[in-house]
Structure 1
Amino acid sequence: MGHPWVYSCLTELGVGLTREPGFHQFDVRGNAYGLLAAHPLTPLVSLHHIDHIDPIFPNITTTKEMQHFHAAEVDSQRILQQTICYNRQFSRTVSVSWGYAIQVYNKHIPLPDILPVPETFRQWKWGTVLAGVYTFNTIRFHPHPCHRPTIFFLVYLLVDAYVIFSCIQMQAPRRHCCDVLPSKSGDLLDIAIRECGEDELIHMNE
């Protein structure tokens, strides 16, 4: 939401207000991992107050971490969009945040339980009335590491071959589908992000 004084000035100039569904600013404090790894199904517009959040990527300084969003140069419309895969063979649930991180759970988790944003961050103090109020659903971030997923952060992108294959650039906001591919190596997890087929839903393999 813009500052009311700015809006008042624009109104006096005859500029109307256009409401864009899903438009919001990234404005939290502390550990922003939860919001980045499970970003709501809306385009990423801006990152505010970077100096008030913890480093986004491990072992990278604040001044360089914005440059580490290499995926924005390849597919900016889908940056941070969350995609969920289910791996039947190993009973895994894989959550991909395009350009940021992959979370791997060693069990099948229903889609409604994995979409809420883990509350790793803190709000700016707006008083007690809006405490804990967001425009998206949140979930408690489990304090014990054994109950959290294994996390893999983006290190680099290969222009001619991705570890995460992105074959088509799609318009956001729309949740995409993905497949866990047969791996060519036991040390790799190959994932293909793709446009969902007509009437296709993301579901667990029974």
Structure 2
Amino acid sequence: MTDEARERSIKLTDPRTLRAYAHPLRLRLIGLLRRDGPMTATQAAARLDDNVPNCSFHLRQLAKYGFAERVPGADGRERPWRATTRYTSWDDDSDDPAMKAATDQLNSVMLAVFVQYAQDYLAVRGDEPVEWRAAAGFGDALLHVTAAELRELTEEVDALLARYDDRAADPARRPAGSRPVQIIQMAVPRGPVPPDDRRSETEP
């Protein structure tokens, strides 16, 4: 992994950290810090329609596990928080029961958060300019691919999205008229796992 990749992402490798991250408010807090931070617990509570003690507690928990950190404040009083990296990653290929349970828990919480994001958008969609209504929205495609092809496709999508990373880190690079857009990736296999195909190369 390159130094740049290390700076961009924090990888979760143990069940305890995965479970610590798997909390709806913590996911929303870290998403807020990555998008609009740094900010104080008071500012975060106002943005998320929550209370300050609750946000303060969960920000400290995020800091405990390396997701967030304090930075100097402008007035020397309440110090704001910032995200330590732009992304969080983890592997879903472990056969360890504790890891499988922890990743399942995190994926379930993330799905609920993503659904809430979509519902929040639908609640205001009618007031959006027509060009944004036409550009945004939902869609799906049913593909017939192998596991290797699916992984390759996911990596290609990740590389495509990475083209816009510099705009997240540097507001000066954001073109006029741009705004934050949440791209949510879901690759959900349908149907049973196919049997292993061991046909001879000479078989038609």
Fold agreement, TM-score > 0.5: no
**TM-score, with normalisation over the residues of structure 1?**
0.26
- TM-score (normalizing by structure 2): 0.26
More helix by share: 2
Look at both structures and tell me which one has the larger radius of gyration over its CA atoms.
2
